[in-house]
Amino acid sequence: MPKRELPEINAGSMADIAFLLLIFFLVTTTIQTDSGLSVLLPPYVEEPPPPEKKNKRNVFSVQINGNNDLLVRGQKCFDVLTIKDKAITFITNRGADPNSSDSPQKAIISILNDNGTSYETYVAVYNQLKAAYNTLWEDESMSKYGRSYKDLSKEERKNVRKEFPMIISEAEPSDLLKS
């Protein structure tokens, strides 16, 4: 009995199908990107201008040492969550307390951290300071326009931010902060 030849399978279209599947998965798959802090860095300048002398009462300083201990305006702070309320009180002082800012436009938040500061502590502090401004913007938009900040037009948001400008100064991390 003669041997029968096995029929060949045409594999030419298999490459086409694999290629189409690859294209399909590339197009339909969403690639997750990490999002970090959205901070606008100042432009690079060859020689920075000399630092301006600021009235100390207008500076809300937050220092974080290598042990993640906090100093807020020279006083030890045990809870990161209290920074938001302290910042709001400082910014909205409007000259009433001689130890706080003259006005929201002159209030400066200064962050100084150590090279040993943990990323989690730094982000927690930054989030509290940002939350303070978000609260101020929300309150101002409700009192001025009767609407939430997120519902305001671009021009209205600009007016709210003009009343409460977010001025956060970050110094270079150092090893000089002692616990």
* 69-104: pLDDT as tens digits: 999 988 898 889 999 999 999 999 887 888 888 889
* 112-147: pLDDT as tens digits: 988 888 889 999 999 999 999 999 999 999 999 999
Contact 129, 81 (CB under 8 A): no
Q: Using CA atoms of 115, 101, 74, 51 in order, give the dihedral in degrees to the nearest 10.
A: 50
Whole-structure pTM over 0.75, yes or no? no
Record the tokens describing residue 103, joined without a space.
């006005």
b/e per residue 89-102 (b: at least 16 CB within 10 A): ebbbbeeeeeebbe
How far is the C-alpha of 126 from the C-alpha of 130, rounded, in Å? 6
